[in-house]
Structure 1
Amino acid sequence: MQAELLAALAALSWAVGSLFSAAASSRMGAFAFTRWRLFFALTLLWALALFTGQWRTLDASNVALLALSGFIGIFIGDTALFACMNRLGPRRSGVLFATHAIFSTLLAWLFLGETLWGWTLLGGSLLVGGVMVAIVWGRRESETHAWEKTQGTLMTGVLLGLLAAVCQSVATLMIKPLMTSGVDAVAASAVRTSASFSAHLVLLWAGAQVARVQTPLSLKTLWNTWASAAVAMALGMTLILQALKTGQANLVGIFSSLTPILLLPLLWGVYRRSPAWGAWGGAVMAVLGSALILGA
């Protein structure tokens, strides 16, 4: 139960972080926003790892695997997610990213031998189904918020969202065995963010136009980026890695997909109106699914 709770808390941190991310990412561009976000996150994580001395749990072999995981999950995955968010908004990008729970369950079965049966399988299906229902039918027809508009091609946004989900699943599962060996979650997060940040710097120094900041930076944009880094990346990613120490990768993936459900009351505050009935119905399904898993 502790691992599932940690994964749910990570989902909450991602929900809060997405509110800071949406505006900053659209202003800076997906690549520049991710780069600055990584810079802020790695400074926080390394400061904590050095202060606690947990960096000593790292060695050359696990650093290489963590770096590869960071490249896949953060450099590719997070950049794809924010590019998707810039096109489809946080609500619709959320439903695409939530499919990482399905990919995680499938990959955990194929490569880790983890299976779900009985009430746990039913609960997991209800939870993931509730997340999908909440987002797909969670918008009012009269909603005109800027976050609901499509920028560019819809199919491009969909493919970017699915790419982000697959990368999240692959990057998480590939370090599941490593996390059970005693590597500190904060130190592991610091390595993953550093590797991804290095890849972004190479892209920027290579002169890629897409890596440049799209609009002049402002203090508000930098503050939103720092807040997103602290809450969603430094805290959220560390919680997920800590959950992998003791929990099944498939259940960690399922509970971490709660982000869109937990985002509902936060978006309520942004929109100043309650979500549609579909959103509440999906939320009820997700709560029932969570209860079945925890009670199994």
Structure 2
Amino acid sequence: MLAVVLSLAAAAAFAGSAMFIDSVSGRVGPLQLSRWQMGLAFLMTAAIVLVTGGWRTLDAQMVLWLTASSASGIMIGSLTYIATIQFTGPRISALLFTTASPFALALGFGFRGETVSPTQAAGVGLIVAGIALAVMGPKQDEGARVPKPLWIGISLGLLTSVAQALGSLLARPAMLAGADPVAAMVVRSGTGALFFIALLAIPAFRPAALPSPVALRQIGLSAVAGMVVGMSFLMAALAVGDVGIVTTLSSTTPILILPMVWAVYHRMPRPLAWVGAALAVVGTALISATT
């Protein structure tokens, strides 16, 4: 049950982070956004760990696992996700991202022997279906894009899901060994920050200008919500729950963001989105009942 609570808490934090990111959308490029998010997250988590002494829970092997997790989930996953959006638009890319759950289940079973009961499998299926319904909608994003080969976008989207699932799988040994969740994020965010900073060596990846102070504040808030709080909850969930279940529950961000959008922007979600939310709630209940 603790894994369920932590995973849903992570999803809620990711939803809050997305709300802050939405406020700077179009003004800050995705690579620049990732660079600032990771850098600020590293500074904040490092400060917390220095105060709490959480760094003492890490050893060399844990750091290697967490670095590999960052390489897959943050380095590869972030770049391919950005590329997926460019090829397919945000709506289709969000649909493709729902495949992270079945990939995580397969990887957890193949590499760690983690299995789910028929009831849990049904819950996972309902959650994935609910997320898909929640993100489906009018093709508002495709009209403004230059037509690009859809098969490339789909391939990149599936690669993103595999990379994210593998990132969670690679972090699990360190979390099972007792790594502090915030200390784990120091390693993951620090590795990610170095990667995105290194990309500045390539002229095409250099930003035209720095973010404005207002945009930087919103990026900082998104880093606190998503990278510091959300990812720390996710790491804690991986310490007590199977990779597939944790990945599925923490992917319910599109569901949890619905009431936030309603409250902040006064935009009533579509009926299909509420159906998706209902399916996700039932799926979560099924998983909770057997966890």
Query: Do both share a fold (TM > 0.5)?
Result: yes
Contact 1:14–1:259, Cα closer than 8 Å, also in 2: yes
1:225 and 2:219 are equivalent in the alignment = yes
Name the counterpart of 1:258.
252
Q: C-alpha displacement at 1:284, in angstroms?
A: 0.8
1:67 and 2:30 are equivalent in the alignment = no
Letter of the aligned partner of 2:240 in structure 1?
T
Distance 1:53 1:216, change over 3 A: closer
Spell out the pairing of 1:130-141 with structure 2 (5 A cutoff): 130-136=130-136, 139=137, 141=138
Name the counterpart of 1:279.
273
Contact 2:65–2:173, Cα closer than 8 Å, also in 1: no
Residues 212-246 of structure 1, C-alpha deviation per residue, up to 9 Å, x if partnerless?
12454211211121111110111111111100111
Distance 1:247 1:101, change over 3 A: same
The number of aligned residues is 288
User: Which whole-Å CA distance do the structure 2 matches of 1:237 and 1:258 have between them?
Assistant: 14
Name the counterpart of 1:194.
190
Name the counterpart of 2:203.
208
Distance 1:75 1:22, change over 3 A: farther
Name the counterpart of 2:27.
27
Q: Out of 227, 234, 247, which is 1:240 matched to? A: 234
Between the two proteins, what is the percent identity of the paired residues?
36
Q: Give the alignment's TM-score, normalised by structure 1.
A: 0.88
Name the counterpart of 1:101.
101
User: Which whole-Å CA distance do the structure 2 matches of 1:25 and 1:77 have between them?
Assistant: 20
Q: Please, what is the CA RMSD of the aligned residues?
A: 2.3
Q: C-alpha displacement at 1:272, in angstroms?
A: 3.1
User: Which whole-Å CA distance do the structure 1 matches of 2:54 and 2:257 have between them?
Assistant: 33
Residues 122-145 of structure 1, C-alpha deviation per residue, up to 9 Å, x if partnerless?
112111111112222xx3x5x86x
Distance 1:289 1:279, change over 3 A: same
Contact 2:68–2:170, Cα closer than 8 Å, also in 1: no
Q: Out of 281, 284, 288, which is 1:290 matched to? A: 284
User: Which whole-Å CA distance do the structure 2 matches of 1:120 and 1:126 have between them?
Assistant: 10
User: Which whole-Å CA distance do the structure 1 matches of 2:24 and 2:154 have between them?
Assistant: 21
Letter of the aligned partner of 1:288 in structure 2?
V
Q: Give the alignment's TM-score, normalised by structure 2.
A: 0.90
Contact 2:69–2:167, Cα closer than 8 Å, also in 1: yes
1:176 and 2:143 are equivalent in the alignment = no
1:164 and 2:184 are equivalent in the alignment = no
